[in-house]
Amino acid sequence: MVIYLKLLLTAIFWGGTFVAGRSLAQHVGPFSAAFFRFAVASLFLVFITWKVEGKLALLKKGQLLPVFLLGLTGVFFYNVFFFKGLKLIEAGRAAIIIANNPILIALLSAAIFKERLNGVKATGIFISVIGAILAISKGDLRVILHGNLGWGEVYIFLCVASWVAFSLLGKAVMSGLSPLASVTYSSLTGTILLFIPAYGEGLANCIHYSITDWWNIFYLGFFGTVLGFVWFYEGIKKIGPTKAGLFINFVPISAILMAFFFLDEPLTFSLLVGALLVTTGVYLTNRP
C-alpha cells in the first residue's frame, strides 16, 4: 500500500514541476534555473547513491561518451527548453505536450530496436496525438493548419525530442551502471555543462532571487528530480515497470489541476479533453 502512495505522490511531484518551472521561468533565466535545479539534485543524488550502493561506481573509458550524451540531452537541452517553453506557454498545455514522450519513444523503439507495435499500441498513439493536437490548438485546428504555433510550443517540442534522445541513448549504450548511478552521473554532467552558459546569463544575480524562486529551485531539484526518481524506481522494483508506469498517466492531470489552483490557469474544455485522450493513448501504448 505504501509503494502505491509513493508512486501517486511521484506523479503529483512531477506534475508540480510544470507549475514550479512556470513560476521560476518568469524571474530566472533558463540556463541559471536549470543549473541550480541540477546542482541541488546532484548533491542529493550523490549522497543517496553512496548510501544505497555503498559507492559511486567509477566510469569506464567506454562509458564516458554515453554519460556525456545523457547529460547533454536529458539535463542540459531538456531543461533549457523546458524553462524557455514555460516562460511563454501555460503549464497545463506544456504538460500535455510532454506527456507524449512515451508515444515517441514507442515509435522510435519500433523503428530502431524493431520492437513490436501491435494494433492496440498503434491505436493508443493515434488517440494520444489527437489529444495533444486538441490541447495545443486550444480546440481550433486552424492554429496548427496555418502554422500559427508560437516559440513556446516549439521549445516544449524540442524538450520532448531531448528526452526521447536521452531515453533511447540510455537504452542503447548504457551498461554496467545501475539506474541510480546513471542518473547521478547524468545530473553531474549536465550541471557542469550548464555552468558556463548560466554564468554568462548572470548567475551571480542569484543573490536577488526571491524566497519563492529558491523554493521552486529546491522543489524542482529535490521533489521533482531526486525523490521522484528514487520512488519511481522503488516502485518498478516492487510492483514491476508496467504497474509503476501507469502512475505516469496522472502527471498531466496533476499539472493541469495544480496550474488551475496555483497559477490561475483556466480549465478549458479542449485542455481537459486533450488530457483525457493523451492519458488514454499513453496507457494503451504502454500496456502489456
Question: pLDDT by residue (tens digit) across 202-242?
Answer: 998 999 999 999 999 999 999 999 999 889 888 877 877 66
Locate 281 and state its grid cell: 493513448
DSSP 200-234: HHTGGGGGG--HHHHHHHHIIIIIIIIIHHHHHHH
Residues 129 and 85: their CA atoms lie apart, in Å, by 20
The reported pLDDT for the residue numbered 134 is 79
pLDDT band at 175 (very low <50, low <70, confident <90, very high): low
The reported pLDDT for the residue numbered 16 is 95
Among 172-181, 186-195, 208-217, 261-270, which stretch is predicted with the lowest mean pLDDT?
172-181
Residue 4 near residue 246, CB atoms below 8 Å: no
pTM: 0.87
Range of the domain at 188: 2-286
Angle CA 36–169–114, to nearest 5? 150
How big is the chain, counted in residues?
Answer: 288
Among 6-10, 144-148, 155-159, 183-187, which stretch is predicted with the lowest mean pLDDT?
144-148
Average pLDDT over residues 252-275: 88
The reported pLDDT for the residue numbered 105 is 76
The reported pLDDT for the residue numbered 23 is 96
- Specify the number of domains making up the chain: 1
The reported pLDDT for the residue numbered 172 is 56
Examine the pLDDT at 171 and tell me if it is beyond 70: no
Q: Which of 214, 239, 203 is nearest to 24 (CA)?
A: 214
Residue 275 near residue 32, CB atoms below 8 Å: no
The reported pLDDT for the residue numbered 71 is 93
Residues 36 and 116: their CA atoms lie apart, in Å, by 40
Question: pLDDT by residue (tens digit) across 101-115?
Answer: 777 777 777 777 666
- pLDDT, the chain, mean: 86
Q: Which of 261, 268, 288, 258 is nearest to 95 (CA)?
A: 258
Q: Which of 230, 227, 233, 257 is nearest to 245 (CA)?
A: 233
